[in-house]
Structure 1
Amino acid sequence: MVHQPENQQSPVSDSEDLTISNAPEPPRMGPPPPPNGGLVAWLHVLGGFMLFFNTWGILNAFGVFQTYYESGAMFERSSSDISWIGSIQSFMVLLGGVFAGPVYDRGYLRHLLILGSFMIVFGHMMLSLCTQYWEIVLAQGLCVGLGAGMLFVPCVSIIPTYFSSKLGLAVGLASSGSSVGGVIYPIVLYQLLDKVGFAWSVRIMGFLALATLLIPITIMKMRFKAPKPRSLIDWTAFKDYPYLFFTGTTFIGFMGLSILIFYISYYPQEQGLTDEALSFYMVPIFNAASCFGRILPNALSDKIGPFNVVAPCSLITGILMLCLMAAHSKGAVITIAVLVGFFSGVFIAMPPVCFFPLTQDKSKLGTRIGMGFGIIALGLLAGGPIAGAILGTVKPLDWYGLWGFGGAAATLSGILYTGLRVYRSGFALIKA
């Protein structure tokens, strides 16, 4: 009698084999992979471009408002007080994004786009009616800033769902909208001030914002909703020292960046290096160069790594700001404005890309970006008013102290970025 081994499986019939082969595959867990291209994906880059155009683009134009308010045409205040308007506006963009993050994760993208767009347009319409300092703080600082904060989250959150291998290029193209906005809005304001006055100039800016914001409202949609809405705080981040180090370094860098945004226009006019027209155009010149500084370095970061880009660019930005202390001619100021505009673009475009490799658990990426920008926002809030206090109110104004402070902050951030890059990857020239 032959015994069949116990571990030998019984034969499977043809019908059973057919049933097994035709069985549906188990559903794949997690979101589908990004398409990394195609019409829909690139349309979302266009939508992101328009969101950056009306968030950081408006913020980058504040240098023109700083110069106009310094003239005393509307009120008499110190440079530090005027800087508070732009600082509050910048602070609300990043802080508002922290609280808008969980709303976005719950699938309310369209609600954020509509409400944020309304507040930006409404804030400009209210600004056109303002005559007092505190009214401008509320309209331009709080209302426009908070509206931009609601739009900033879709800027940095939705594009990574459509791109992975080309993420740096896609974010760079979208973030270039902030530079283009920083070119268009100052020119519109300056060209219209003498023709239709401040009130209608600001109203036209509001109508321009409305027209361009209809594009993302129309075309942008979420590919998938987060399985679980992000929390406001990831407590494990406080034990992640590279993450904390990068956030603190970017905080310092943004202090220097805010000084560039606020005073690049007022400096040559107050020093008599340029006439009034050219001083207003310093902001568009700065932002036009910054446009290339947000696309090219980001595209390069896909090849060599984000920290190999952000470290040298921020260091060069700081050195160029220190060079402004020795810029005593029209040509020198314009040259430095072009160069510093290009290299400073990394401060806006690179942090979202850098947070990605610093976050091991990608499900916490949104929370960590929100936390990081909430801390970085304090640098924007403090930088301008501190610089204004250094500048003083008694002539001659302390421009050496102002550019020294801003340049030192940006240079220090470059050194610290370099240290973080070496800590993560050593001295070898590898992707970091």
Structure 2
Amino acid sequence: MSDRSHDEAPAAVKVVDLNDGILSEVQKTESHVGADVTKDDDTLPDGGLHAWLQVLGSFCLYWNTWGMLNTFGVYQTYYQDGPLRDMSPSAISWIGSIQSFLLLFVGVISGPLYDKGHLRSLLVSGSVLVVFGMMMTSLCTQYWQLVLAQAICIGLGTGLLYIPSIAIIPQYFHRRKALAMGLVVSGSSCGGVFYSIVFNQLQPKIGFGWTIRVEGLISLLTLSIAIAILRRREKPSEEIRTLLDLPAFRERPYIFYCAALCTSNIAFFTPVFYMQPYALVHGLEGQTIALYLVAIMNACSILGRLAPSLIANKIGPVHTLLCSIVCTGITVFGWITTKTGWGNITFAAFFGFFSGGIIALPPIVLTSFTKDLSRLGTPIGGAILNSTGSYLGIQLYAGSVIMATACCLLALRFALTGKKMITKA
């Protein structure tokens, strides 16, 4: 992998006349408000108004991608006790799981499109899909309609928005990159808190449909901010990148990194989806506070996403993520013994804090060993609950897979540093 260079000169468009072979160059400068590329130089700004505006814009994208997904535990509770009460928890959780799958999978397509300079198209099309999906969800009365609107439509939209939210920051920050990314990913926690509270407050008063429409309008407002201020700093890549970068899989650190992310994403959303239904039958029966556990989790996750980003500058992002994963796994195993109201609240708070690094640190870990920055399971839980009638299987499953993630990260650490026991990674 080679470093991508920065070029201060305005972008050049070459026009070739095939009839007479005359080659002319037309210089253009995209300094107007709607431009996707801003003027850059060889030194990353690492601050300044324009750089911090990119943090704000990316924060808004995380608010409406991971933040929206982190709210699904509220929907899981509502659907199980309401319109989809006749369906299994596993079937209901497929709505959120498809959404989370598409959020990550669509990046295979949106990544190359971003590299080619289509930032504006990704932001606009992704925003339209998210807002349209929210409005269609407000009209849904059947399961298949929710799959199309909430799972597929919103999932596709968030997938188009996710890559720009993490790809822009490394173009503006180096020394403060961990802090900037920590602020960006805290948008998912803030969005999760906000959307959870809005849903629980408005749904009993104005109904499901109008509550979702209000959230859709909030998404439209925050996504419009992102569209207005986000700008690439680097010129688009001139070569077309393949959808599957096979040479990357010859690198051991990248293989361990992918394995760690795979296992963490399989397990992470299980507690997010099921902590509220679990609490309603284990210590918080009939209590309103149970409906706010997802909001509590996301609120604590704000600090949990900022603190690891600061620690990463001292001990390294791999070590920090490993500590975060191990603490999260221990917390999930502790969930097994949680049978009281305060126990459930405590679990939500600790899980939110320790799991914050699972969302905040992966982009930082990847950029820490990737020189070329241009190359950048929850239905199982429902099935376990359905077949056993107990949450114990869900808790053991989530905790075990999270610990498997820790093993993958440990392998990544030694792949990067060799046999050194005390080092920064």
TM superposition score normalised by structure 1: 0.86
Q: Find the counterpart in structure 2 of residue 404 from structure 1.
A: 396
1:205-354 alignment, distance < 5 Å: 205-228=215-238, 229-354=240-365
Q: Find the counterpart in structure 1 of residue 423 from structure 2.
A: 430
The 1:258–1:89 alpha-carbon spacing in structure 2 relative to 1, beyond 3 Å, is: same
Q: Which amino acid aligns with 2:48?
A: G
Higher-Rg structure is 1
Q: Find the counterpart in structure 2 of residue 391 from structure 1.
A: 385
Among all aligned residue pairs of Structure 1 and Structure 2, give the percentage whose two residues are the same amino acid.
43
SS at match of 1:270: coil
Partners of 2:162 and 2:315 in 1: CA distance: 27
**Aligned 8 A contact 1:74 1:131 in 2:** no
Q: Find the counterpart in structure 2 of residue 375 from structure 1.
A: none
User: 1:424 deviation in Å?
Assistant: 2.4
5+ unaligned residues in a row in structure 1: which ranges?
1-26, 370-382
Q: Find the counterpart in structure 2 of residue 7 from structure 1.
A: none
**Aligned 8 A contact 1:167 1:302 in 2:** no
Q: Which amino acid aligns with 2:223?
A: L
User: 1:32 deviation in Å?
Assistant: 2.8
User: Would you say 1:87 and 2:97 are equivalent positions?
Assistant: yes
Q: Which amino acid aligns with 1:126?
A: M
Partners of 2:398 and 2:356 in 1: CA distance: 16
User: 1:142 deviation in Å?
Assistant: 0.4
**Aligned 8 A contact 2:256 2:411 in 1:** no
Q: Find the counterpart in structure 2 of residue 149 from structure 1.
A: 159
User: Would you say 1:110 and 2:120 are equivalent positions?
Assistant: yes
Q: Find the counterpart in structure 2 of residue 78 from structure 1.
A: 88
User: 1:31 deviation in Å?
Assistant: 6.3
5+ unaligned residues in a row in structure 2: which ranges?
1-6, 10-39
Partners of 2:91 and 2:59 in 1: CA distance: 31
User: Would you say 1:38 and 2:52 are equivalent positions?
Assistant: no
User: 1:74 deviation in Å?
Assistant: 4.5
Q: Find the counterpart in structure 1 of residue 29 from structure 2.
A: none
Q: Which amino acid aligns with 1:430?
A: T
User: 1:273 deviation in Å?
Assistant: 2.6
The structure with the greater share of residues assigned to helix is 1
The one-character-per-residue Cα deviations of 1:211-231 (angstroms, maximum 9, x if unpaired) are 111111111111122333433
User: Would you say 1:416 and 2:408 are equivalent positions?
Assistant: yes
Q: Which amino acid aligns with 1:56?
A: W
**Aligned 8 A contact 1:253 1:409 in 2:** yes
1:14-33 alignment, distance < 5 Å: 32-33=42-43
The 1:75–1:269 alpha-carbon spacing in structure 2 relative to 1, beyond 3 Å, is: closer
Partners of 1:235 and 1:255 in 2: CA distance: 23
Q: Which amino acid aligns with 1:212?
A: T
Q: Find the counterpart in structure 2 of residue 63 from structure 1.
A: 73
User: 1:384 deviation in Å?
Assistant: 0.6
TM superposition score normalised by structure 2: 0.87
Partners of 1:274 and 1:176 in 2: CA distance: 31
Q: Which amino acid aligns with 2:193?
A: V
Partners of 2:130 and 2:415 in 1: CA distance: 42
**Aligned 8 A contact 1:89 1:142 in 2:** yes
SS at match of 1:45: helix
Partners of 1:170 and 1:332 in 2: CA distance: 33
**Aligned 8 A contact 1:391 1:402 in 2:** yes
User: 1:270 deviation in Å?
Assistant: 3.0
Q: Which amino acid aligns with 2:123?
A: L
CA RMSD of aligned residues (A): 1.8
The one-character-per-residue Cα deviations of 1:224-256 (angstroms, maximum 9, x if unpaired) are 223334332222112112211121122111111
Partners of 2:47 and 2:241 in 1: CA distance: 27
The 1:31–1:239 alpha-carbon spacing in structure 2 relative to 1, beyond 3 Å, is: farther
Q: Which amino acid aligns with 1:392?
A: N
SS at match of 2:280: helix
Equivalent pairs counted in the alignment come to 387
Partners of 1:217 and 1:231 in 2: CA distance: 27
Partners of 1:325 and 1:53 in 2: CA distance: 30
The 1:175–1:28 alpha-carbon spacing in structure 2 relative to 1, beyond 3 Å, is: closer
Partners of 1:102 and 1:431 in 2: CA distance: 32
**Aligned 8 A contact 1:315 1:412 in 2:** no
The one-character-per-residue Cα deviations of 1:312-357 (angstroms, maximum 9, x if unpaired) are 1101101110111100111111112111111111111111111123
